Structure 1
Amino acid sequence: MRYLALFILGLLLGAGLTNLLMARQQEQLHLARSELEQRLVAANEELVQLKENLDRESRLAIVAIEPVIIFSGDRPPAVEGRALTQALSQEVQDILAPLKGQDVRHLNPALVPAMIDGRTVKVNGRQFKLKVTLLLISDKVIVHVQAQGLPASVSSSTVSLMAGWPANVAI
């Protein structure tokens, strides 16, 4: 009887550990799927823009926006970091969406960082202050954005005031 109880206990512990491992793997697969869906939407939009450009006269127009998110300060854990990176990338793409289809030669390059710098974005219950560190403009706008996590105790009115302050002012 005791051996049977130990066998059943081992079976239950093994099933529980297997369930934990599978849940982690399922979360990783869900994030990977979400990332691939986001890439597919971006690729479809790029394809539509490229087809429209072929129909138009030969001008270089912006067809895609590719944000690269870099975290500064305390880095989020790996799984949360991937989710935050995807959400922040989507936010940056939404902010820069009006640039799609514009002629590169007539674009003011100072406009792009001005659209993002100093913005605070709330993603997954956390607030981040965005700053452009690198910008490459061709038919694709590749923008490297530094996201700095803001403390939870900072109120939204303080954050909006901080966005307009110069970088060398200490709070």
Structure 2
Amino acid sequence: MRALRFAAPILLGILIGATLITVHMGRQIEQLMYTVRVLNEELTAANRELESARDSLSDQRLQVVRGIKVDVRLPDELTSYEERSVRLEIEKTVKGWLQPLHGQDVKALRFPVVPQIIDGRDVDVDGKVYRLQTRIVYIGEEIIVYVEGKPERSSVPIT
């Protein structure tokens, strides 16, 4: 009985320590998974830009679209994890929509095309739907798009 009295606090300490280590490791794993997703997205974009650059070298007279950059503004009510996930998914989706513009002659592109592709479309992220609105578009060798994503109360995403 006396040995049990001394062993109980030790066992309790071990259990509490194991729980805290599990929570800490879970956070680190979540952060690493997010980093891997971001790096994979950047690698995919870099590969697309490299392929586009190789194609444009054959005809240097033309100024062609080589890259697409998307900047997303979101409401302040999101947690940092939700904001990063939503931002990453919206950037990925918008880049996918604008992918057909890669390699096209910049002078031949019409400015209204980009907002027409993006404005009013919805993106579903983890069950929440965000309606997109284009704020600023720069068309050059790199298309830069500033997009605002507003959460919709109840709607079905349009893809």
TM (norm. structure 1) is 0.85
Which residue matches 2:14? 11
Which residue matches 1:40? 43
Deviation of the 1:155 alpha carbon: 3.9
Q: Distance in 2 between matches of 1:55 and 1:7?
A: 72
Which residue matches 2:85? 83
Which residue matches 1:25? 28
Task: Structure 1 unaligned segments of length 5 or more: list them.
Answer: 161-171
Deviation of the 1:50 alpha carbon: 0.5
Q: Distance in 2 between matches of 1:3 and 1:137?
A: 72
- Residue type at the aligned position of 2:30: E
Q: Distance in 2 between matches of 1:114 and 1:75?
A: 28
Q: Deviations over 1:97-137 (max 9, x none)?
A: 11111111111011111111111121221100000111111
Q: Deviations over 1:11-51 (max 9, x none)?
A: 11011111001101100110011100110010011011101
Answer yes or no: is the 8 Å Cα contact 1:67–1:142 preserved in 2: yes
* Percent of residue pairs identical: 32
The count of aligned residue pairs is 155
Task: Structure 2 unaligned segments of length 5 or more: list them.
Answer: none
Answer yes or no: is the 8 Å Cα contact 1:53–1:59 preserved in 2: yes
- Residue type at the aligned position of 2:114: V
- Residue type at the aligned position of 2:103: G
Which residue matches 2:106? 104
Which among 38, 43, 62 is matched to residue 59 of structure 1? 62
TM (norm. structure 2) is 0.92
- Residue type at the aligned position of 1:87: E
Any idea what SS the aligned residue of 2:74 has? strand
Q: Distance in 2 between matches of 1:102 and 1:11?
A: 62
Which among 94, 97, 100 is matched to residue 96 of structure 2? 94
Q: CA RMSD in A?
A: 1.5
- Residue type at the aligned position of 2:14: L
Q: Distance in 2 between matches of 1:14 and 1:84?
A: 34
Answer yes or no: is the 8 Å Cα contact 1:135–1:144 preserved in 2: yes
Q: Distance in 2 between matches of 1:69 and 1:38?
A: 15
Q: Distance in 2 between matches of 1:150 and 1:10?
A: 47
Q: Distance in 2 between matches of 1:115 and 1:155?
A: 19
Which among 118, 124, 135 is matched to residue 126 of structure 2? 124
Q: Deviations over 1:36-94 (max 9, x none)?
A: 0110010011011101111124211001111111103x532111211111111111011
